[in-house]
Amino acid sequence: MLMSEVKAINESKGLCWFSPSNMRFFRTKIVSRELIKDKYFVTSEQFVYEGIAKPRLYSVREFNPESGDIHSVGLFQQFHSYKQAREYAESLP
C-alpha cells in the first residue's frame, strides 16, 4: 500500500496523524514510499530547541488499516539512520 493511501484512510477515519500542524511541530518527514510488510513505515523527526536543530532521528510506525490508527513500534526516534529503522521494520512479524 502506498503512503498516499495510508494518509487517505487515516483522514477518512477522522484522524489527524498527517495533519500539517502535527507534521510541522515534529518536523516529520515520511521516509517510506509504501508500507513495509503491509503495515510498517519509517518517519524521521527533528526537534528544534532554543533555535538549535537537533539531529534528525528515525522512528518505525505501524498502521492499522481497519481503524486508521498509527503508533510507534519500539521507541520514538529510536534509530540514527533510515537503514537501521528499515532493517528493524523488516525484521518484525
Mean pLDDT calculated for residue range 23-46: 96
- Which string of b and e fits 24-58 if b means at least 16 CB within 10 Å? eeeebebbbeebbeebbbbbbbeeeeeeeeeebbb
11-39 average pLDDT score: 95
pLDDT digits (tens, 9 = 90+) for 38-85: 999 999 999 988 889 999 999 999 999 999 999 999 999 999 999 999
Residues 6 or more apart whose CB falls under 8 angstroms from that of 43 comprise 28, 29, 30, 31, 32, 58, 59, 61
pLDDT above 90 for 91: yes
Q: What is the pLDDT of residue 49?
A: 87
- Cβ atoms of 57 and 77 closer than 8 Å: yes
Please give the residue range of the domain that contains residue 69: 3-91
Predicted structure pTM score: 0.92
Task: Provide the number of structural domains found in the chain.
Answer: 1
